[in-house]
Amino acid sequence: MFALFFSGLQQDLKIFLFAPMLCAIFRFIFLWVFWPYKSMQGKKKAVFHCFRYGFWWGMDFNAYVFLFSLLLVSLPGVFFPAYFAVGDMLRTAGVLFYAVVLYGAFVGKLIFYEHYHDIYNDLVWLGKNAEKHNLIDVFFHENHGVWVLLGYIPFLGVSWLAIQALLGLPSLELPVSVSVMGQYAFNTVVVLVAVAFFYYCRFGGTFRHENKPEWDTIPSVVKKNIFLARATVDDLIALENVWKHPLQEILTHTDEDDIPIIDSIMPMHMQDGAWQRLDSPAEAFIRQAKGARIRSPKHIFLIVGESYAQMPLDDIYTNLHLCDGARSFRADPHTVSLDNFLPAGMLSRPSIVSLMTGIFDARLELNEREAFWRGTVATSLPLQLKKLGYRSIYWYGGNATYGNFNQYAPAVGFDEVMAAADFCPPDAPRTWVGVYDHIFLEQTAAKIRHMDEQPTFHFIYTTSNHGPYKMDLAQYGYDAEKVMPDAPESLKKSHAWQQQMGTYWYSDQAISRFVKDMQQVYPDSLIIVTGDHAAIPVPMDMGIITRTEVTFREEFCTSFAMYHQDITKNMLAGNTIGGHMNILPTIFELIAPRAFRYYSLFPALLEPIDHIVTPYHWLTRDAIGPAEKGFYQGLEATGAPVETLLEASGKGRFIEETEGYKALSGWLVRHPDILRAATKWL
């Protein structure tokens, strides 16, 4: 009887080997596909430990292949010989199912990394309210979805052959003892060793649960290289980490939990709980304008371009000419710009919501919450502009019902929501996201010209620079040979990259034409141009620059430029850094009369700023890093490799501030009763 168990146990061990082998192969493919370096020189030790540590970390899931096979096949097979006879078939079916899961997770990781230059992170949670049609369109047209699905066929075939080869390895016969007690002792040892083996694997090569592998204990030689550190994490481990940190985690806090956290970000006179006597914690951030710095503009334009990043504006990418329109705008003597500028979110909607509302969306998806369709907070940008006599209009290049902005924007204080899907010609070319930028902006400009004389704030959000990249670019004037004649030939001949880069060029052209038009028609306008978040529209492996790895600055920083006839280049107080949340106070410090009271979490760009914090990243005058990870890089816009450095604390900088701003947003969500209708704030 025990002979059957001993035989089955060996089959369990053999088939168990398949899971870590498959994960190692997937890790190798990931490194091969996205390897950012020209060679392995100086990386061999880090790669070795990447595979070694990743092997043991992956056992958090892979060890269960052994356990389930043991409990569900070998153990019952001891009592039912007929069941034992089909044991290998059952093991094969179970492991093939697990392989299907691993394949799906791995391919999903490849796609996710292609878009976000990171392994699975909490952006995954935001997918539940994304436009599903667009996600499907991107999957099938940009990410070769049909081939991904068809890939299951050869994958399962090869996996079946590998599993059969493992199961076919020779097994040992059960040793027979001359004594009954000796036999029982041996059998007991086998069972105990099997149990110990599972726990040893499950805990990542240790018998102590507290020593299990995790992000903080990745070997330093690996962690200093962010690409290899990410590659160390198996796909199911990454998804598990996302699952353990849901977007709503902050909402599980109690007020008692958050009071000291919010205290840490409060103005000095509002600390120690003084802000709790206010109707809303956002009201603690009241400021007084120092007096208008420019003549009052009739029109204020805040133009947010989809994926309008800083990266292509850096001098090292000048020969690509992707954003010559933006360069021309920045060259105006009355335009100021910042090359190190953090968005308020890592995706479009969180950034838009934060810019509108004056508090961080903080992964809470405020636009999806019905309480925020009925009321808002004191920091709202359009709400506060009403106090200066400005009507506010939200112009969106798509359908305003996506993300419920048709309800959210009016609640924030916008007088009108103008969606391209409603006012552009019904036959206008469009993607799932919205109408092509040049048509949307031309129609927007035409409508603005026919408005009355009331001062107006225009929040304009374009959509075209978004995958899948299927525009007929030649129809709109894009020719790689003419736009980027000095670019490497391999880049000019890459259809996929030309579609993506050409779309960026097209969007820049459309936005720049709109800006020039408004400057001519309304010369007194205040015009601010930024992006909703960063993007990587430039390939790193085609010889454009020496470096082959994206930097944190390129990954995180969006663009920013601001124009008015009275603005001079020295107005930004020597600042070289900024962020989305500095835009609101900057507007009021530029146009509001002296002593005008407004609400803003952050100071204006017109006064010195030494650091920027968001829920996702931080920025100082000389460094940049992710909010919750203990590494950073310098701000050099260089074509040479940029070193990734580790924080001595092992944690990201400004953690207290980061948590404070997140807790503030969470407090408002947990207390919807303190939200007021826009009309009641006036």
In the chain, which residues fall in CATH 3.40.720.10?
285-615
The per-residue pLDDT for 138 is 75
- Domain at 285-615: CATH code: 3.40.720.10
Q: How far apart are CA 255 and CA 138, in angstroms?
A: 41
How many Cβ atoms are within 10 Å of 567's Cβ, its own excluded? 20
The per-residue pLDDT for 471 is 93
Q: What is the pLDDT of residues 262-271, one digit of tens each?
A: 999 999 888 7
Question: By the 8 A CB rule, do 224 and 644 touch?
Answer: yes
Q: How far apart are CA 577 and CA 572, in angstroms?
A: 10
Q: How far apart are CA 281 and CA 635, in angstroms?
A: 34
Q: How far is C-alpha 480 from the geometric centre of its chain's CA atoms?
A: 29
The per-residue pLDDT for 628 is 82
Q: How far apart are CA 513 and CA 508, in angstroms?
A: 9
Radius of gyration of the chain (CA): 29
- The owner of tokens 């805040």 is 302
The per-residue pLDDT for 576 is 97
Q: Residue 597 — φ and ψ, nearest 5°?
A: -95, 130
Q: How far is C-alpha 498 from the geometric centre of its chain's CA atoms?
A: 23
The per-residue pLDDT for 130 is 67
Q: What is the pLDDT of residues 525-562, one digit of tens each?
A: 999 999 999 999 999 889 899 998 999 999 999 999 99
Q: Residue 469 — φ and ψ, nearest 5°?
A: -90, 90
Of 565, 22, 587, the C-alpha closest to 300 is: 587
Task: Say if strands 416-419 and 611-613 run parallel, antiparallel, or are unpaired.
Answer: unpaired
Q: How far apart are CA 520 and CA 347, in angstroms?
A: 33
Q: How far apart are CA 531 and CA 540, in angstroms?
A: 21
Q: Give, in degrees to the nearest 5, the angle at Cα 81 between 76 and 85.
A: 95
The per-residue pLDDT for 118 is 85
Q: How far apart are CA 433 and CA 414, in angstroms?
A: 22
pTM of the model: 0.83
Residues of the chain with pLDDT under 70: 1, 126, 128-132, 177-178
Say whether the peptide bond before residue 468 is cis (omega within 30 degrees of 0).
yes
DSSP designation for 430? B
